[in-house]
Amino acid sequence: MDLDLVEVAPEARPPVCRIMNFTKFKYEAQQRAKESRKKATNIIVKEMKYRPKIGSGDFETKTRKVAQFLTEGHKVKVTIMFRGREMQHPELGRRILDRVAAEVVNVGKVEIMAKQDGRNMTMVLGPDKKAQDMVKAQEKKASEAAAAAEHAEERMDAIMADATPEAPELVGISADGHTAQEAQEVEAAEEVETAEAVEEVLEAEAEIELEAEIEAVAEVEEAVETEEVIEEAENEAEPAVVGEAN
């Protein structure tokens, strides 16, 4: 049967043995050990250093990095470095550590309180799974609420689109409440009014042209009469001049 007698509990009295396939047993034991190593959490202690006179920009950058480390499951050692006469004001370093702890409260918690270590003041932060899960739940709830609001808005738009009346020729009613026949009658009346207005304009233009022609004829006649008067005057003046010459 190709089975082996394997001692599975050598420390027992009497020892315990089992008949099995030793090669298969050894392979399964290796697989279990491999899975356990995968599930094991490899916690690394990161360190972030601050100065008592750190600027706001550097503080925000370093604190975001601390929050990232805590989210990844690492512990973070926050160190305040004092130089020269800064050692006389340890409250400045403690104030910075309190600010860091307050900024990362959603992803981590203080495991070792601040303490003075020579020229440095240190504090250890650890990941807070409960706080992280709570933040994730809040973000998920907010995203679901936003998705629900968007879906409701799309549904309302669809309802409004279905409630909008179709074209007048399809439903027999125009947008202002008239039926198709009434709309046609109104359109015909508007066309008649337009034609009458055009005709009136044409008549007015014809009258203006006629008046212009009459005025032109009158001017011509007046000019002709003026020329005739001048000729008559010249004719009357010529005999008098002849008489004076004689």
- Could you tell me if residue 101 is inside a domain? yes
Q: Tell me the per-residue pLDDT of 144-170, one tens digit each, with 9 for 90 and over.
A: 888 888 888 888 888 888 775 555 454
Q: Which two tokens stand for residue 164?
A: 């909008």
Contact (Cβ atoms closer than 8 angstroms) between residue 103 and residue 141 = no
Domain containing residue 72: 45-134
Contact (Cβ atoms closer than 8 angstroms) between residue 52 and residue 86 = yes
- Could you tell me if residue 194 is inside a domain? no
Q: Count structural domains, the chain.
A: 2
pLDDT at residue 2 tops 80:
no
15 with 96, same domain: the answer is no
pLDDT category, 67, cuts 50, 70, 90? very high
- Could you tell me if residue 92 is inside a domain? yes
The pTM is what?
0.46
Per-residue buried b or exposed e for 35-56, using 16+ beta carbons within 10 Å of the residue's own CB: eeeeeeeeeeebeeebbbebee
- Could you tell me if residue 145 is inside a domain? no
- What is the C-alpha to C-alpha distance for residues 18 and 10, in angstroms, rounded to an integer? 11
Tell me, what's the pLDDT at 193? 76
- Could you tell me if residue 86 is inside a domain? yes
CATH number at residue 70: 3.30.110.10
Contact (Cβ atoms closer than 8 angstroms) between residue 47 and residue 77 = yes
Q: Tell me the per-residue pLDDT of 110-135, one tens digit each, with 9 for 90 and over.
A: 999 999 888 999 999 999 888 888 88
32 with 60, same domain: the answer is no
31 with 97, same domain: the answer is no
